[in-house]
Amino acid sequence: MRPVDRSTYPRTPRTTASRSRDRMSYDRAVAHEVLDEAYHCALAFTVDGEPRVLPTLHVRIGDTLYLHGSTGSRPLLAARGDGLSVCVAVTLLDGLVYARSQFHHSANYRSVVAHGTAHLVTDEREKADAMTALVEKVGAGRAAESRPPNRRELAETALLALPLREVSLRTRTGGVSEDPADLVLPHWAGVVPLRLTSGRPEPDAGVTTPVPGYLRTARSPWHEPATMRGEHVVLEPLDLAHADELHAATAEEEVWRHLGTALPADAAGTAEVVATALAAQHRDERVPWVQRCAVTGAVVGTTSYYEVDPERRAVAIGYTFLGRPWWRTGINTEAKLLLLTRAFDELGALRVVWHTDIRNERSQRAIERLGATREGVLRMHRQRADGSWRDTVQYAMTVDEWPNAQLALRERLRRTAPVA
């Protein structure tokens, strides 16, 4: 493990603060952390005596900051030869500070300012390494999962290299700071934290590749759709890329009869169902999987955790539908075994719940065969696809019941041959 570099940048007239000096720092490692965390920066320079500021992308390699641009832009052209005098600012806004008085409103932030002379990168190896580092910054592993630039594209792309020598770091943390006389005012005061978070990835038209792991939101194990494999079925994270296959496998009225959504008319309709599940996942309301036949690799259905409650150590299994050719095979039984094993043995659940329409007697029998206990009926619990309100039968299995249920499920699977 490499030692942490706690050296500091030297102070210069351009990096020495004239006010609020207590917020200034020249810690090299902390400045690097800010540069590495931020995704964009402001590049300032002069053109014919006039100031210019351009937003751009950056990446740090060691003590050099690389700035992305076009070969036709004025700062890049001016950086040839003796280089271009620049100032770069990178800021991370961490919170808004609300005071009782307007004068003392503020913000929590971390901001790096670097001065120096930037030069155009002409060495092909250095340029290629910096471009790769820039791609890796947006997602570790992305460089290997995307086409590298060709010679024409490299020729149209320019990079400025700025040695990090004159660098200062300014930060504000903490809460409200205001005049003691204002503390009696009846106004709310405090801090509203801010953070940059990624939304749910939205694939381009025609993309069939699942969202890569580095674009998936990091979650607690309870909310993570970990891939699970058995002899009959493979459960992998549901993705929009599965919509076409999922529609082909499940496009029968009987499959959707007791679901909360009507049978989609086409694959686009099934994609909307998948998108709804993924949106719920982004809100930590569901953990959806696609079911694949372990023998053929075909997509055959989907299932989910929902009502995930790590504090109470409880979870529900549902939103399950499976193509008719795979009914009464080992796929549904093994899928439930995998989900129960993860819940009880890996997550430490105390209780697993199922809900099903009171009209869906086939589903009730299937849940009972899993070893779950019928606990009661929730009246007018959910709305059906036709607009009517259904009574819901609730089943549950506790951790005390799990050992016997697991043995029974494994014995059932032992007598079931995988579907070819």
Give the containing element (helix H, strand E) for 244.
helix 243-250
Kindly write down the DSSP assignment for every residue of 365-398, as one continuous string: HHHHHTT-EEEEEEEEEEE-TTSPEEEEEEEEEE
How is the chain split into domains, by residue range?
21-193, 215-414
Round to whole Å and give the CA distance between 265 and 271.
11
Task: Give the pairing of strands 314-322 and 286-293.
Answer: unpaired
Domain 21-193 in CATH: superfamily?
Electron Transport, Fmn-binding Protein; Chain A (2.30.110.10)
Query: DSSP assignment of 273-304, as one string?
Result: HHHHHHHHHHTTSEEEEEEEETTT--EEEEEE
Establish how many alpha carbons lie within 13 A of residue 211's alpha carbon, considering only the half-sphere containing its beta carbon: 17
**By the 8 A CB rule, do 225 and 287 touch?**
yes
Q: Where are the alpha helices (DSSP H) in 327-377?
A: 330-341, 361-369
- Read off the tokens for 98: 């609300």
d(CA 411, CA 416): 9
Query: CA 93, CA 200: separation in Å to the nearest integer?
Result: 22
Q: What integer pLDDT is reported at residue 136 of this predicted model? A: 94
Q: Cα–Cα distance between 403 and 386 in angstroms, integer?
A: 40
| Cα separation values, 49 from 56, 113, 116, Å | 21, 21, 17
Q: Which residues contact 125 (CB under 8 A, 6 or more apart)?
A: none
412-417 contacts: CB < 8 A, separation 24 or more? 412/330, 412/333, 412/369, 413/231, 413/232, 413/330, 413/333, 413/334, 413/337, 416/232, 416/329, 416/330, 416/333, 417/330
Give the list of residues 6+ apart from residue 413 with CB closer than 8 angstroms, or none.
231, 232, 330, 333, 334, 337
Mean pLDDT of successive 10-residue segments in the chain (420 residues)?
66 84 90 96 90 94 91 70 91 96 96 95 91 93 92 87 95 94 95 89 84 82 95 96 95 94 94 94 94 96 97 97 94 97 98 97 94 97 93 98 96 82
Distance, CA of 133 to CA of 126 (rounded, Å): 11
Q: What share of the chain is helix, strand, coil (3-state, %, to 5)?
A: 30, 35, 35
Q: Indicate the pairing of strand 351-357 with strand 389-398.
A: antiparallel
Q: What angle do CA 215, 150, 119 make, to 5 degrees?
A: 90
Tokens of 145: 């999962």
What CATH number has the domain spanning 215-414?
A: 3.40.630.30
Residue 52, SS3?
A: strand
pTM (2 decimals)? 0.70
pLDDT at position 237 is 95
d(CA 378, CA 355): 9
Rounded Cα–Cα distance for residues 215 and 338 (Å): 25
**Amino acid at residue number 152:** R
Helix pair angle (330-341, 402-414), 10° resolution: 150
Please report the pLDDT score of residue 216 as a whole number: 78
What integer pLDDT is reported at residue 302 of this predicted model? 98
CA atoms 396, 400, 402, 408: torsion sign: negative
CA-to-CA distance for 223 and 218, rounded, in angstroms? 9
Mapping DSSP onto H, E and C, the string for 94-145 reads EEEEECCCHHHCEEEEEEEEEEEEEEECCCHHHHHHHHHHHHHHHCCCCHHH
Question: Running DSSP on this structure, what letter comes out for residue 8?
Answer: B
